[in-house]
Amino acid sequence: MSRRPIIWRRSSRSDSAGGNCLEATALPSATVAIRDSKDALGDFPRLSIPADDWAGLITTIKAWNTQS
C-alpha cells in the first residue's frame, strides 16, 4: 500500500520568505494537522484538531480581522 504525499498549505497572505506562518493539511481521519512553516523538513504536525474545530477557528479569525 503506497502512501500519498502530504501537501501542506499556507495562507495566500503569507510571504514567500516563510517567516512566521502556519501550514495546514487535511488528513484522512477528518482531522487537520498544523505545523510551523519554519519546521518544514518533515511531515510531522505540531498540532492536530478535528476538521469542524478548524473551520470554527478560521471563522473566528476572519471575524477578528473584520473588527479591527
Cell for 33?
Answer: 494537522
Q: How many domains, in total, are found in the chain?
A: 1
- What percent of the chain lies above the pLDDT cut of 90? 21
Question: Is residue 26 classed as helix, strand or coil in its secondary structure?
Answer: strand
pLDDT at 51: 92
pLDDT digits (tens, 9 = 90+) for 12-31: 777 666 567 888 999 888 99
Tell me, yes or no, whether 45 lies in a domain: yes
pLDDT band, very low/low/confident/very high, at 10 (cuts 50, 70, 90): confident
CA-based angle 8:56:43, to the nearest 5?
A: 20
Residue range 36-49: mean pLDDT, rounded = 77
Q: Which domain holds residue 23?
A: 9-67
Is residue 4 situated within a structural domain?
Answer: no
For the segment 35-62, the average pLDDT, to the nearest whole number, is 84
